[in-house]
Every structure is written in structure tokens, then in C-alpha cells.
Structure 1
Amino acid sequence: MKTHVKALVVGGGAVGTSIAYHLARAGWDDVMLLERDELTSGSTWHAAGLLPYFNMSYATTHIHDYSIKFYKTLEEETGLNAGFSVVGNLRMAQSQARMDEYMLYATTAETCDVPYEWLSPAQIKERYPLVRTEDLVGAIYHPTDGYINPADVTMAMAKGARQRGVVIERKWQVDSYHWTGDHWDVTVTKMVEKGGNLVPSDEQTVIHAQHVVTATGNHAQRTAQLLGIKIPAIPVEHQYIVTEPDPALVEWRKAGNPEHPVLRDADAKWYVREERGGWILGPYERNAPARFEYGVPDSFRADLFPLDLERIEEEYMSMIHRIPTSETVGLKDDFNGPICYTPDGNPLLGPAPGLQNMWLAEGFSFGITAAGGTGYYLAQLMVNGEAEIDMASLDPKRYGSWMTTEYAARKNEEAYEHVYILHHPDEERPACRPLRTAPAYDRQKALGAQFGCVNGWERPNYYGPLEVGETFDHDARSFRRGGWWQYAVKEAKAIREGVGLIDATAFAKHRISGPGATAFLDWFTTNKLPKVGRINLTYALTSHGTTRTEYTIVRVAEDDYYLVSAGGWHAYDEDFLYKAIMEKEAEFGRINEEDVTTKWGVFAIAGPKSRDVLNELVKDADPSTVLGNKRFPWLSMREIELGMCPVRAIRVAYTGELGWELHHPIEMQNYLWDQLMAAGAKHGMKLVGARAQNWLRQEKSYRAFGTELGRDATPLEADLPRFVDLSKDFYGKAALEKTGVRVKCCTLLIDGPDDADPWGREALYDGEVRVGRLTSGGYSVAFGKSIGIGYVTPDLAVPGTKLKVKMFDQLWDAEVVEDSPYDPKNERIRIDG
């Protein structure tokens, strides 16, 4: 066995073999793959092999698209048939809401060049007469995918990897990882057969690897324990059954008719495909349990669990309803095996938190579909430093250290159950909530707050009705304007016309201090550092010059900085800061990094009357001047007192109105809340949630990280040159300048349907030609129409350009407007007292 390699891939399923193959194809000529048992012996062997395109994630859609195209090339390269049956995929809908979901997905697919067709019930019946259609509304059809043999495609990728020089070793188990400061020492043990079990032998060796990738599937919890990190990838039982031949289907095929596409009745929560004259039924039922929360037993190899037919009875009966000829056929075989899930159903793909050169590829609930693209894009990350698409939404660090095994298990069960639940953009899944709550949570809930979940934190999305006799179903979701829309409109208007209060406690907050802090942050970020008492918006870049993170930097003292970033990206930002400091501390001097997220609560107060509210509470020798422009100008910070609460007040407002962020000791939050509520009552202050705030920031063209800002575009392409100081040197600068401006971000006002607004994933057209996509969308109370932010080619990002937005399978008029169409001169933000 080789003991020195550039990259060691741990795990010999479809995902691991794809990663090894693509690393070799990308030019790494010293790659080894280890498998503790036999290739495909994990979840790969019992997977049904389906290749569904359908996914609301832009990054995941690209991954699935690559896989489907790549698998079709393997036989020519390796001589092995991967068993790909390109029969298509027919996803049926029993309701208009389901068709709305498909139309929202379709515009995402369109931006990724994924082909699809629409079929009416009559067209479905004409093509596939065995399918009952009278209760269907329609279907979306993907003609280019189908299903594949999981073992065959894995073996084909393994052969392709070997042809490119990859060494594959079976029956070796990893028992420890140790980072030497230069490489990983990986202790491995030879596994042997004993009484039908696989047990460790006395043979051990150490492999020295510059990089390690874990693709350990059901064994992810053991991997997490060995690495000393948390990986919320835990298997859930997935069962499917295979029927005896259906005589009607056998006759259909004998008559020369084509194989049915993979059939999906999402409202009935199952997929069905042909299998040797019979049918395979795969349900996604309620109450499927998580398994192996603390590790896979040594005795469990290529094993299965007992079938629980009672649990899937409803889905089985609905298959008989949809395919009536299946009622009389018997069961031929059954499978109930572990399939790994994550709390949001998407894989954990990218650098491991806190570790150098350690990469995770865990939690693949659709591992066969994702394997090819995972290898391709992860290899780009490892070899080139970045992938051609933004992979942040799949980053393992989207779950922080607060995550526990119990949380992961329960959320993974929920994710399994939600595979076919309507994926509303405004959905809020209930499992494991509330968990992380700011002190004012109960007060907000009593006042009608309806919460969303951001990185585990409960954050008000909007405030519902409290008036006597007024009722509203807060669980009613929609792909159009949900019932909550009317309340968000009132909240947005309150900030534009009066004053509103927003809870922003979920912001990520870090303190950077010490003798090396200034030099480090000057190198780490693109903008000039602020003077003491001032703030700046700035960006940290990737090695390719694209946007890695957005920070608001507050300079508290000469070498003491307070960094605020997006709450949903807390662990992601912290890990980036930590690793950058470790790299540069020897050069710049001591740098202290402290995560102060849970020490500080944040309220944002905004609107033309916000100063009036705060003046009620300011304690100062001359309270009337404390918040005026002379003593407290825009983009500055002051330590003030509001009643008995010391507050780090920052004069900035994400809504584009006069306003302040009030950063306060978390233990004093309820006191400050009560003071603000009492003072605000005199001025008609309204409580405001995140949805209204999101609309308001779009009226100001404020870009958001994770939508407009990400690792596939530079700050210059986001049209933010004012936050990039090209006169200084900073990380990623050369790549930024070399990249230039390939696309450009712009704001659009949209004449859309009367009952809907864009969600921020819609395709943009110039006439009949697709020219870009939206990244954010919503409603503008200032202009009385839909609004969106997106990317197009630079020649089209010019105010006055007429474009079209694809919504609900129709093109709607849109016009590019000037940056910050609401108050473009920022006069309202700077208004004096």
C-alpha cells in the first residue's frame, strides 16, 4: 500500500469514486481511495438509482445536471456500461399549487439549461394509458434523465479513476486523523472477515496525505468523532418495494411501446418506475426513523432493516389508484435501508470547519444523482481554489457548533418526510423549534410575531393579526402572495412613513483586536478601514476575486474592531476568519478573534420618526443633540445610554431610512425592548419582520450575501466599486482585476401578475433570448409593483433597458432602474434632527 499521497478519499460509494476520478482528471496524479468493505457496500448498493433533476437549489441543479450528462460518457471512456436508462422523468401534479411549484422550479432549471416540457392530463394519458389522469392538473417532464444502475455506475467511475492513476484499496478502515501542521497522518487498519462480520486485524499503517476527503455515507458520525467536529449527516430508513410482473405492463411493452418514464406523484409522496415487467414503488412516508445516530454497528454491512408495510400503506394504495393494473400484482422484493440525510436535505460539501486540507462530502440523500457533479465541482474547489458555481449553499459550515445529534436526527427525519411536501419559498419547517431564542422572543410572540429560523435562531418574519375576531392561518403557504403579504406591506409602509422596530439579534458578530488586527483587516478586506468611531461596509474575497463574505466593520479603537455579518452564515464566516488569521498572524503580529454573537442583541429602529423615539430614552447632558448629524453622523458609531441600558449605536439602516442599529448586552434585552415599546407607542411605532425588511433593502439596491453576493461574482460585478479600494493591496485583488466585469448586478421594477411577486430565482429575457436571472425578488411599497435584483450582461444593466421576467411560465415586463431607485441621493438617511 502507498503511504504518501496528495489526496486520500475515504469512502468507496458512488460519491467517493466520483471524487477520486475527478481529482485525477483535474490533474492530481497521486490520489488514493480507501473503502472499509467493498465498493458500493454502503447505501449505493441498495439505492434505486433514480436521477431526478428537480431541486430548488441553483447549485444542486448544476450538480445534478453535470451528473446526468457525465454518466452518459462513461461507457465510451471505460468500456463499462453504467446501466443508464434514459426514459425521462414525469412529475405529476394533482393541484394548481403543485403546478405553481413546478413553474417556480422550471425557471431555476431554465437558468441552468435543464430541458423540460409541460404535459396536460390528456397528453399524459395519450402517451401512458396505464396511468390514471382524471384527477391530475398536469405534469413537468424531463426527457433527458431516467435511472441508472448504482453499482454499475460506481464501478465505471472506479475503473475510470484507476485508468487515470488512482489507487483503490478495499478492506481498510480509518481509525485516526492527525494534522501535523503540514499534512495529515491517517492511521488505517486492515479489515478481515470473521463469522460473516468485518472486524479489524492487527495490521495497521499510516498514510501521509496532503489532503483528505471524507465520503463516508452512513458512517459520517464516526468520521465526525475521529475529526472532533460535528457533521449533521444521519441516515433515515428508506424503503421501496418491487412488484411481480404486471400483465398489462408486459403487454404494453410487447406491443413495442417505450418504457414508462420514472413516474412521480408528488402529492401522493412516491416515485414509481418499471422493473422487469413490474413496478418499483419508492415512498417518502411520515414517521420514517433516523438510524445510527451514534455510529453504524460493526455487524452492519450491506444489510437492510425489516420492511414496515403498515407505514407505507397509504402510499401503496395511492400507487394502485394511479396505476390501476398494479392492484392484482404481488410483491416480489423489498428493500429498507439507511439513506443519509441532513437537516435541509442538501449535502455537506466543502472544507471541514476548523481543519486544514480536510474536505467533507457527506449527507447525500440523492447520492447517485449528485455523485458525478459532486466529484466535478469539489475537484474544482480543491485543485483551483474555487468552483465555477457558488457552492456556499452546500458548505458544511451552514450548521454551527450549536447543532446536536438529537437536532440532526429529528430534522433529518423531517427532511425525509418533506421530500414531496410542497416546497414553498416561504415555508418554515417546524421540527426542533424553537431552539435558539433571544430574550425578547416571548414578548414578540405575544405581540403576534410569526417566526422564521435562521441558523437555529428564531427571527420574526412578520407580525400577524391580534385584533379581536381577525384570524389568519399562519401555516398557509403559497407560491404567490401568501396571506402574510398584507401584513408585510403594512410593516414596510410603517418604516417608509413613520417608524418600525426590527429584531436583528441573529447577526453574526466578531471582535478582532490586537497589535496585528489593523494590518490583517486591511489585507483581508477590500475597502478602506474606517476611522475610530466610524463604520465601513467591506468585502472579503476568495482566491478568485469573488465575494466570500460581506462585513460591516466598526472601528471601536485603534486596534479594536467589531465585525457584523449575516446571521445565516455565522460559522461560515467564523471559520474563514479563523483560518485567515492562522495564516497571517506570524506576518502581522498577534491577532485576537472573539465570537461575540451571543453576547450582543441587536434591534434596528428605522423610519423618519426613529430619532423621535430614541430621543425619549437618551440619557445625556443635552439629549436633543445626541442623535443629530453633528454629534452622530451617518455611518458612525457612538456608545450611548438608553435608560439604564448601555448601547453601541450604529447609524446605519438596511431599510434605507433614517435609523440606527442598537447593539446591546443580551442580558438587558428585555429591559431595552420594554423601553423602546413604551417610547415607540407615542409615535406609532410598528413592529417589523424580515420579509418587509427584505423588500425595503431591494428598493435601495442593497445587495445581500447569499443572493446577490457570492462566490460566482466579484464585488465589481455586483456593481459595488465604492466598497473596493484598488489603491491598496488586499487578498484576491489580482484575481478581481483579471476577472473584469463579465456580468453586472442591477435592480428592476416588474409589471408582474396581480397576485404574485418574484422570489429571486427567475430567468430574465431580452425579447426571446435568456440573458440572466434574478437573485432577489419581492414587492415595492414605494413603487406599488414587484421589484427584483439580478444579473445580466453589462450592456443590459443600464437604466431604462426593457427586459422580461419569467414567472408562472409567462414573460412579464420589467425595466432596469437606477441603483437605489428609492431615494437615490440618500437624503432620507442623512436627514437631521
Structure 2
Amino acid sequence: MKTHVKALVVGGGAVGNGIAYHLARAGWDTMLVERDELTAGSTWHAAGLLPLFNMSYATTHIHKYSVDLYKGLEAETGLNAGFAVVGNLRMAQCQARMDEYMLYSSVAETAGVYHEFLTPAQMKDRWPLLRTEDLVGALYHPQDGYINPADVTQAMAKGARQFGATIERRIQVNGYRWTGSEWIVSCARMVEQGGNLVVSDDTFEITAEHVVTATGNHAQRTARLLGVKLPAIPVEHQYIVTEPDPALVAWRKAGNPEHPVLRDADAKWYVREERGGWILGPYERNAPARFLYDVPQSFRADLFPLDLERIEAEYMSMIHRLPSSETVGLKDDFNGPICYTPDGNPLVGPVPGLRNMWIAEGFSFGITAAGGTGHYLAQLMTEGEAEIDMASLDPRRYGQWITTEYSARKNEECYEHVFILHHPDEEREAARPLRTAPVYDRQKALGAQFGQVNGWERPIYYGPKDAPEDFDHNARSFRRGAWWQYAVDEARAIRETAGLIDATAFTKHLVRGPGATQFLDWFTCNKLPAVGRINLTYALTPTGTTRTEYTIVRLAQDEYYLVSAGAWTDYDGDYLRKCAEDKAPEFGHIDIHDVTTQWGVFALAGPNARRILAEIVKDAAPETVLSNKRFPWLTMRNIELGMVPVRAIRVAYTGELGWELHHPIEMQRHLWELLLKAGEKHGMKLVGARAQNWLRQEKSYRAFGNELGRDATPLEAALDRFVDLSKAFQGKEAMLAHGIRSKCCTLLIDGPEDCDPWGKEALLLNGEKVGRLTSGGYSVAFGKQIGMGYVRPDLAEVGTKLKVKMMLQEWDAVVVEDSPYDPSNARIRMDG
């Protein structure tokens, strides 16, 4: 057996074999080790469904790649993967569900996923066993279906071997040790005793340059061995198999085709044919998380007892939808562990704090994702980046604040929400509130409705304080929800008077030391600011795409305060620290501290912002301390507001005169009360994140995770003014080599009266897809919809007329100049 390889994959399920296959195909010397037999984990009892449906752009690409790959595996390996391309029918009992499908349609179109819409009559004509009179319609994917999980796993394993990979079974990994250049992986052979696997005395080590863990239900053990936290915990998933249904048997004997995989999303189940009967898989309430700390050594290809009472409602709804199944008995049942994460996306990418350690954990749809995950993770590992932005799957999107209890409760919620309407404005309630700013209770008392970002509660809008009993703050919609008018009023206040936004969730890092200046000059693409000034800049990946957006405040000659997006604290911090460690021998010592929880942030913006601050600022000349002469745009000053020392930064993400007020978080309540009192007579309104998101689009301010990501360069994002090509910086040559593949632009849209774009929509020209939106919303300045997105470079010119596809209709859109609201920035620079 080999003891030294380029890449070691730990875990022999579908995901692990998909990774081994693609790493070997890329030319890496690869070994896979599995503690039991291939497919012994969740793979063996998976239903094998291959749904293309997904609201995530990245995950849609992953699923599509898998489906396409599996169709060609037999020709490549000689093994039939058991792919039944029967299609996938998602039924809708209500218009809201159809609205969800129409929004998904745009995501699918941007990713090239074929789909159709069917009426109830069309469904009944094709599949007469279905009851359809109470349906509104359906979404149909004719190109997917289901596959045999064991067969597809073995096919990828054979493909991996054909490319030179080694696969070893009955080997358990017991430890990892990094030498500075490679991993020493402690292993032990597993032996069978009395039907159980036990660890033998045969121990040995494998040396690997890179390690990938795909350990499925054993993710918590993996996390402990690595000394990290991973929110991947299994949840029970039940499905039942019926005896043959005579009506179905007669249907097939008559020469009719197999039914597609049926999904009655409003009833929360899927059904497919199985040997003349049906498989019913529900996603019910109260399915418990399992193996919160470890999988028992005795648990192999085992199952839990069935809990039929828990799925009674879903079982009865299947009988309603397929009346012929009412008299059919149960033949078999399965209740096994399926791993989940709090947001339903798997954890794919580098392990925080560790070098050359990669994970692929937390797959609730592992069979569907296995091939695509292997493909894109192999690109990350072998080429430095994938062709799609993988940030939404990155393990570092979760911080080290997560706990076992948090992960378990959120994963149970995620399971229950598999078929609950996925509104773009949804805010799930489990494990909340958890991370709160000191003024949380006061904001709540003033009508704040909260969303969460990286666990932080932040106001997304302020509703009525004394709402009537029948007012539903949580009413969600794919059109304009109950919150929409409140967000309009808040956005208008910032444009006309002033607004106060809680931005405490911002990520903040302090970077200082003898090597700080040289490092940051290399790490970011813009000029560094002078002491007391700020710059907007970007850290690039080595492949030249955008890795992180920073506002850099220079506090001293070798001391910098970096502010970035609140959702990405560990994602940004891990990359920052690793790059600094790499460059320290060249540039000198660099200290990096995450100070996110030490500083609260209020953003005050609007024409009256200066007047409000003047009411509470303490200075020898309060009438001039906030003037353009003493406090110009894009500068930082240490000021005092009441009794609070404030690091005031003259920027505003909304495009109005404004300041970010960074303050010691323990003094936040005092500052809050001062600002409310001072702002009252100047028309100040409390403002949430949704209005802020609209306003930043009127200024064409790019947002990380939307316009900015690892699939586009800053030049493609049309951020040339923030790129200093006269200096050397990480990724510069690669950025220039990319050229301009697509271009970011802002569009004004003449859309429907009851709906705004969400940033998932396709952009069309003469019926052909030419780009996609990455942000969307409503513009109070222009009284119409607004969006930002990427199009072919030749179509990014001002005045280009395109179409935006919303709710299956095409709506007029026109490319406008960057910052269509106040393009000269006169309002931001306003003096007084």
C-alpha cells in the first residue's frame, strides 16, 4: 500500500469517490481511504434522487454537472450507474409556489438548466394516476430523475482507479499532523468482530501534501481531530416503500413510461416508482438531529426505528395525490442519518486555520452533488480557483462562535424547510436571537424586524410599533412583501432627511506591525491611504479574481483598520492571516486581530446628518469640526459624541452625506439614545438593511457575494478606479490575463407593479441569454426597479436596451451610467 501521495481523500461515499475521481483525472497522485466499505454511510440508504432544482447559482451548477457526468460514466468505465432519466415533476398547490418556480426559472436559465411549466390538465393527460384538480401548475425537468447510489459510487471509484487513484477500505483515520509542508495522517486497520468493526493494532501513517475529508455522518469526529468547528450534523430522514400498486402495474404493462419523480412541495414529500410500487420520502416536522458528537463504533450500514406517526400527514397526502395507493401495503421502510448544515449548502473548501486541508462535508443531497463537488473542488485544489464562485459553500462562512446545540437546532430546521417556500426575504427563526448588539432590545421596542447575518441580529426594516393584532410582520412573498412600504419610507428618509442604520455586524480587523504596510500594499490592488484617510480596495485571489472588499482606514504609519462584509468574518480573516504568514519572512512581522465584537457601528446618512451630529459632538469648535475643511470626505477622525469616543469615518454606503460611527460596543446604548434624541427634530428615521441595499444600487456600489466574487476580476466588475496598475499586487498578472469576459453594469427596469428583481434573474437580448442580475430591488429616486449584474462586455455600454425575465415575462431594462443617482457625488461631499 502507498504511504505517500499528493492527495488523500478520507471517506468512501459518493462525495469522496467523486473527489478522488476528479483529482486523479486532473493528474494528481490520489488515494482514498474508507473506514468500512464504499457506500457504507448515508450513500447506501439514499433514495438516489437527482434534482436539478436549486435556488443557489453555485449549487445549481454543481447539480447540473453531476447529472451530465453520470450520464456518461458507463461509456467511460463500463459500469452502469443505474441512471433512470424519468424527469422530475414539482407540483404546486398555490400561486405562491408557482411564484417560487418562476423565480427559480431565472436561476435555471442563467445556468443552462432546461425546464418546462405544465398546467394541471397537461399533468393529468400525461399521468392519469395523479389527482390534479387542486393543483395550480407544475415545474418539470425532463432531463433528471434518479440513480442507484451504490452503482454511481462504484462507477466513479472505477473511474478514479482508471486515472491512477488507489482506493483502500477498512482504514480509519485517527489523527492529522502538519509538518509545515505535508500532512502525516495516523491510520489504523479496521477488523470485523461479531458483526462490528473494531480498531486493530495495525497502525501506520500516510503522508500527503493535501488531505480532503468527506466523512459524512462522522463530520463531528473529523472536526475534533482537526481542532475546528463544523456545523455538519445528521438529521433523521425516513422513507417508505409500498407493495406493488395494481393501477401502476397496469399502467406500465400497457406500455406507458415510468412516472417522473413526483414532488408535492406543499405537502412536503417526494414519490417515485419502485418495482411497481411507490417510494414516499417526506420532509416532516420534528425530525431529530443525531450523532451530535460522534457516531457509535457499532453503527455501520444501520438504520433507526421508523416513526410512522411523525409522517402520517405526509402519507395521507400521498394517498390524496395518488388515490390508487390507498389500498397498497407497506413493503419496506428506511430511517437513516443524512447530514445537514444550517443553510442547507454543504461545506466545501479550505479548513480555516489549516494549510492544504480541505473538506467536503454536510451534504443533504450528496448523490446529486457528488460529481459536481468533485469537479469544482478539484479545480480549487489544482488550479487555485474554480470557474464558479464557491464562496456560498465555503466552510469559513461559519465562524468559530457556532456550537453543537446551535448546529443541531438549525439543521433540524433546515430539514423541515426542504419543501417550505424558499422566499428570498425569508428569515428562519431557530436558534435566534443569539448574537445581539447592546441596543437589540431597544431596537425591537421601536418596531425593528430582524434578519441575521453570521449569527448577528440586525434590523432589516422597522415596522409599526403598535401594529394591530392581525398585522403579520413575517408575511413573505416572491413579490412585494409586507415590509416593502416600510423599506420605501426608510430609503426616502435617507434621501430627504436622515436615517440611522445599525452596521455593528461589519467585520473589523486591526493589522499592524513593521511589515503591515508592505504586506497590505501587496495584498490589495489600490493605493494605501495616508494616515487619517481611507480607501476602498480589493484583495485578489492568486488567479486574479476578487477575494474580498475592504475599506482600509490608516490609523498610523504601520497600523490599519480593515472593514469588510459582516457575513464573511472568518472567511476574510482566515485568508488575511494565511497571506500575512506567507509574506512575513519577506515584509516583516505583522499582527492581525479580529476586533469585530469590540466595535459597534452606526451609519448616519442623509442631508441632515451633519446637523444631527453637531447636536452632540464635543469639540472646542463644534460648529466647524464636521465641516469639509476639518473633516473631508474619505477621512477618519477620532471625535467625542457625548461621553463616547468615536472613530468616525466619513463614508456612506447609501450615497448621501454621512458617517460611519465606530464606537466601543459597551458604550453603544448611550450613543444610541444620544443619536435618537438629536435626530428627532431633524426628521431622522431608523433604517434597516433592505432599504440600504436598494440605496447602494442607486450608487452602483458593488456588494461582496453579489457583484463581487471569485468568478470575476475587479476590472470585470468595472472597478478600474480602485486598481493601481503602477504597483505590484497579488493576482495582478492573472487579472490582466483574464481580460474582460463579462462586465458589471447597473440597469433601470420597467417591471411589474407588484414585484421587484431579487438579483437572480436572467438578462436577455432578442430572446437570447446575455447575462444575469446579481442584485435587484426598488429605486425610490427613479420610481422603478433597479438591478446590477453582468453582461457581455459589448452590451455594458450606457443606453443598451435589454430585457429582464421576471415571473416568466420579459421586462424592458436599460443600462445606465454607474452611480445613476448623483453621479458627481455632490451630495456625499455636501458642506454645511
Q: Shared fold (TM-score greater than 0.5)?
A: yes
| Equivalent position SS for 1:304 | coil
Residue 342 in structure 1 maps to residue 310 in structure 2: no
What does residue 185 of structure 1 align with? 184
Question: What CA deviation, in whole Å up to 9, does each residue of 1:10-38 have, x standing for no partner?
Answer: 0000000010000011121x110000000
Q: Partners of 2:143 and 2:286 in 1: how far apart?
A: 33
Letter in 2 for 1:462: Y
What does residue 663 of structure 2 align with? 664
Does the 8 A contact of 1:217 with 1:362 survive in 2?
A: yes
Q: TM-score, normalised by structure 2?
A: 1.00
Task: Give runs of aligned pairs for residues 229-628 of structure 1, distance below 5 A.
Answer: 229-467=228-466, 469=468, 472-628=471-627
Does the 8 A contact of 1:542 with 1:711 survive in 2?
A: yes
What does residue 793 of structure 1 align with? 792
Q: Partners of 2:182 and 2:801 in 1: how far apart?
A: 54
| Equivalent position SS for 1:219 | helix
Letter in 2 for 1:623: P
- 1:175 deviates by 0.3
Q: Partners of 2:335 and 2:172 in 1: how far apart?
A: 25
Does the 8 A contact of 2:445 with 2:465 survive in 1?
A: no
What does residue 802 of structure 1 align with? 801
- 1:468 deviates by 6.5
- 1:765 deviates by 0.5
- 1:623 deviates by 0.1
What does residue 7 of structure 2 align with? 7
Q: Partners of 1:231 and 1:196 in 2: how far apart?
A: 31
| Equivalent position SS for 2:539 | strand
| Equivalent position SS for 1:478 | coil
- 1:474 deviates by 1.0
Q: Partners of 2:515 and 2:801 in 1: how far apart?
A: 50
Task: Give runs of aligned pairs for residues 815-830 of structure 1, distance below 5 A.
Answer: 815-830=814-829
Q: Partners of 2:503 and 2:495 in 1: how far apart?
A: 18
Question: What CA deviation, in whole Å up to 9, does each residue of 1:178-221 have, x standing for no partner?
Answer: 00001000000000001111000000001000000000000000
- Compared CA separation, residues 71 and 469, structure 1 to 2 (3 A): closer
Q: Partners of 1:139 and 1:557 in 2: how far apart?
A: 61
Task: Give runs of aligned pairs for residues 105-124 of structure 1, distance below 5 A.
Answer: 105-124=104-123
What does residue 23 of structure 1 align with? 23
| Equivalent position SS for 1:99 | helix
What does residue 733 of structure 2 align with? 734
Q: Partners of 1:296 and 1:212 in 2: how far apart?
A: 22
- 1:475 deviates by 1.3
Does the 8 A contact of 2:118 with 2:139 survive in 1?
A: yes
Letter in 2 for 1:214: T
- 1:740 deviates by 1.0
- 1:471 deviates by 5.8
| Equivalent position SS for 2:616 | coil
- 1:469 deviates by 4.8
Q: RMSD of the TM alignment (CA)?
A: 0.6
Q: Partners of 2:768 and 2:257 in 1: how far apart?
A: 34
Question: What CA deviation, in whole Å up to 9, does each residue of 1:125-162 have, x standing for no partner?
Answer: 00000000000000000010000000000000001111
Does the 8 A contact of 2:268 with 2:419 survive in 1?
A: yes
Q: Partners of 2:423 and 2:468 in 1: how far apart?
A: 28
Does the 8 A contact of 1:121 with 1:138 survive in 2?
A: yes
Q: Partners of 2:663 and 2:113 in 1: how far apart?
A: 48
Letter in 2 for 1:177: Y
What does residue 41 of structure 2 align with? 42
What does residue 673 of structure 1 align with? 672
Does the 8 A contact of 2:511 with 2:562 survive in 1?
A: yes
What does residue 138 of structure 2 align with? 139
What does residue 166 of structure 1 align with? 165
Q: Partners of 1:669 and 1:814 in 2: how far apart?
A: 43
- 1:679 deviates by 0.5
Q: Partners of 1:104 and 1:110 in 2: how far apart?
A: 10
What does residue 719 of structure 1 align with? 718
What does residue 90 of structure 1 align with? 89
Letter in 1 for 2:295: V
- Compared CA separation, residues 819 and 146, structure 1 to 2 (3 A): same
Does the 8 A contact of 1:465 with 1:472 survive in 2?
A: no
What does residue 641 of structure 1 align with? 640
Q: Partners of 1:99 and 1:111 in 2: how far apart?
A: 19
| Equivalent position SS for 1:523 | helix
- 1:769 deviates by 1.2
- 1:470 deviates by 8.3
| Equivalent position SS for 1:698 | helix
- 1:472 deviates by 2.5
Structure 1, unaligned runs of 5 or more: none
Does the 8 A contact of 2:8 with 2:212 survive in 1?
A: yes
- 1:466 deviates by 2.1
Letter in 2 for 1:311: R
Q: Partners of 2:551 and 2:450 in 1: how far apart?
A: 25
Q: Partners of 1:514 and 1:101 in 2: how far apart?
A: 51
Q: Partners of 1:539 and 1:468 in 2: how far apart?
A: 43
| Equivalent position SS for 2:33 | strand
Letter in 1 for 2:16: G
Q: Partners of 1:471 and 1:411 in 2: how far apart?
A: 28
Question: What CA deviation, in whole Å up to 9, does each residue of 1:354-410 have, x standing for no partner?
Answer: 000000000000000000000000000000000000000000011000000000000
- Compared CA separation, residues 525 and 119, structure 1 to 2 (3 A): same
| Equivalent position SS for 2:623 | helix
Does the 8 A contact of 1:513 with 1:561 survive in 2?
A: yes
Q: Partners of 1:468 and 1:545 in 2: how far apart?
A: 50
Letter in 2 for 1:73: G
Question: What CA deviation, in whole Å up to 9, does each residue of 1:261-313 have, x standing for no partner?
Answer: 00000000000000000000000000000000001000100000000000000
Q: Partners of 2:104 and 2:238 in 1: how far apart?
A: 27
Question: What CA deviation, in whole Å up to 9, does each residue of 1:414-467 have, x standing for no partner?
Answer: 000000000000000000000000001001000000000000000000000125
Letter in 2 for 1:19: I
Structure 2, unaligned runs of 5 or more: none
Does the 8 A contact of 1:615 with 1:623 survive in 2?
A: yes
What does residue 709 of structure 1 align with? 708
Does the 8 A contact of 1:465 with 1:471 survive in 2?
A: no
- Compared CA separation, residues 143 and 384, structure 1 to 2 (3 A): same
- 1:664 deviates by 0.1
Question: What CA deviation, in whole Å up to 9, does each residue of 1:719-777 have, x standing for no partner?
Answer: 00010000000000000111111110000000000000000010000121110000000
What does residue 632 of structure 1 align with? 631
Q: Partners of 2:708 and 2:298 in 1: how far apart?
A: 47
| Equivalent position SS for 1:823 | coil
Letter in 2 for 1:16: G
- 1:583 deviates by 0.5
- 1:794 deviates by 1.1
The alignment-based identity, stated in percent, is: 79
- 1:509 deviates by 0.1
Question: What CA deviation, in whole Å up to 9, does each residue of 1:45-103 have, x standing for no partner?
Answer: 00000000111000000000000000001000110000000000000000000000000
Q: Partners of 1:469 and 1:455 in 2: how far apart?
A: 32
Does the 8 A contact of 2:172 with 2:189 survive in 1?
A: yes
Residue 774 in structure 1 maps to residue 753 in structure 2: no
| Equivalent position SS for 2:617 | coil
| Equivalent position SS for 2:386 | coil
- The number of residue pairs the alignment matches comes to 832
Q: Partners of 1:438 and 1:668 in 2: how far apart?
A: 11
Does the 8 A contact of 1:342 with 1:411 survive in 2?
A: yes
Letter in 2 for 1:379: A
- 1:538 deviates by 0.2
